[in-house]
Amino acid sequence: MPDVTTTAAAPNPHLAAYAARGLKGRILSGVQPTGNLHLGNYLGAIRNFARLQDDYECLYCVVDLHAITQPQDPAQLAAQTREIAAAFLAAGIDAKKQIIFAQSLVPAHAQLAWVFNCVARVGWMNRMTQFKEKAGKDREAASLGLYAYPALMAADILIYKATHVPVGEDQKQHLELTRDIAIKFNNDFKAPDFFPITEPLIFGAATRVMSLRDGTKKMSKSDPSEFSRINLTDDADAIAGKIRRAKTDPHPMPDTAADAEKRPDADNLLGIYAALADQEKDAVIAAFAGKQFSEFKGALTEIAVAKLGPIGGEMQRLMKDPGHVDAVLRDGGERARAMAEPILAEVYRTVGFLRP
C-alpha cells in the first residue's frame, strides 16, 4: 500500500471497553449469497463464527449488496440470502445473543461506503487481486460496484467499529485495505483512533480449502464442476461420491509434511480431514502415512458425513420455515441499525456534513 503503513502490533484502544465486559472485542464478518455454500466457506469462516461467539460480541452479515456486483437472478438472490442465514443458525450461531442480518437492511453500510470511496485511492484498488480474478479478461465490462467492492467491505466492518474479522485466507488483502482506509480516515480528519485497526482472525487447519478436482485452485462457488466442491446441503451419497472422485496421485499417502506440501491434491484432503477432525495436520499425516488413498478416502467420507450431515439437515429444516429465518434477519437488522446509525452520525460530523 502507498502512503500509509499498517502496524500489526499497535495497541488497540477500542479493546478496553470490551475487556471490561469480559470480551475480547467486536466481530463483524460476512458471506455472499451467491451460490451454494461449500466446505471452504464452512471450515474457513462459518465454523469459526460459531466458535468465537463466547469471547466476542458478534455481527454476522449476509452481504446481499456485495452479491449484485455481478448479475444475480432476483428470486434466487432472496432465496440464497435465507439459505446463508439458515447456515449461520445451523452452524450454531445464537441469534439472540449475537446478530444475524442482511446487509441491505442497514443503509449505513452503503452510506459509509461512499465516504470510503472518497478516502481509498484508485491505486490501492488497482492492486486488489480478487477484482482481477472476478473481472477476468474483459475488465472494461466489469461493474463499477465490483471495482469498489473492497471499500464497501471496509464499511461493513467499520460501521460497527469492529475490532476483529474472522475470514478465510482469500480475504486477507481486503482486510489490509480496510486497515489502510481506517488509518487514512483517522489521519485525514485528525481523529486519532476514530476507527479501530481491525485484526483478521484466520485460523484452523483449512484457511484455504482447495478444489477436489485441482489442488492448486481454491474451492469456489463459481467453479462449473459440482465435483470440485462439497456443498453444505449435500447428502451422504453426494459427499461420498465427490470424495471418491477427488483427484489424487498414484503414490501411497504422504509420510511427511514436506512430502504432502509437494502434492497439492493429497495436501488439500489431509487439511480437510484435519479440520473436520479438529486435529493437527501432522497427526493426520502420521496416522495415514504410506497407506492407500482408498483407505484414507473411506475415513474422510465417514468424518465428513458425520460432521456435515447434521448441519445440512438443519439447514434443510430451516429453509422449510422461511418465516422463522426472516424473523431472525428482521430482528438482527433492527439491532444492527441501532448500532450503525450513531457511528454514521459521528462520521458525518467528523467529515463536516452539516446536520441542521
Which residue lies nearest ligand TYM, judged by its C-beta?
A: 44
**Whole-number Cα distances in Å, 236 to 88, 161, 231, 279:** 21, 41, 11, 22
Smallest gap from residue 34 Cβ to ligand TYM (A): 7
Given the residues 218, 242, 281, 297, select the one marked as catalytic: 218
Smallest gap from residue 329 Cβ to ligand TYM (A): 16
Say whether residue 41 binds ligand TYM (CB under 6 A): yes
Part of the chain binding ligand TYM (CB under 6 A), chosen from 26-34, 137-145, 305-313, 315-323: 26-34
Say whether residue 218 binds ligand TYM (CB under 6 A): yes
Say whether residue 63 binds ligand TYM (CB under 6 A): yes
Q: How many helices (H) does the chain have, and how many strands (E)?
A: 16, 5
Query: Nearest 10 degrees: CA dihedral of 81, 332, 198, 350?
Result: 110
Say whether residue 157 binds ligand TYM (CB under 6 A): yes
**Amino acid residing at 62:** V
Say whether residue 29 binds ligand TYM (CB under 6 A): yes
3-state secondary structure 267-316: HHHHHHHHHHHCCCHHHHHHHHCCCCHHHHHHHHHHHHHHHHHHHHHHHH
Pair 127, 86: CB distance under 8 Å: no
Q: Is 242 a residue of the active site?
A: no
Q: Select from 23, 48, 36 the least CA-distant residue to 171.
A: 48
- Helix 281-288 / helix 293-319 crossing angle, nearest 10 deg: 130
Say whether residue 242 binds ligand TYM (CB under 6 A): no
Smallest gap from residue 39 Cβ to ligand TYM (A): 8
Sign of the C-alpha dihedral computed for residues 128, 196, 198 and 110 taken in this order:
negative
How many residues make contact with ligand TYM (CB under 6 A)?
25
Q: Is 134 a residue of the active site?
A: yes
Say whether residue 219 binds ligand TYM (CB under 6 A): yes
**Amino acid residing at 133:** E
Q: Select from 89, 21, 103 the least CA-distant residue to 50.
A: 89
Considering only 106, 153, 315, 340, the residue that binds ligand TYM (CB under 6 A) is 153
Taking CB under 6 A as the rule, which mask of x and - marks residues 171-210 in contact with ligand TYM? x--x--------------------------------xxx-
Catalytic residues: 134, 218, 221
Provide the binding-site residues for ligand TYM, judged by CB under 6 A: 28-32, 40-41, 44-45, 63, 66, 153, 156-157, 165, 167-168, 170-171, 174, 207-209, 218-219
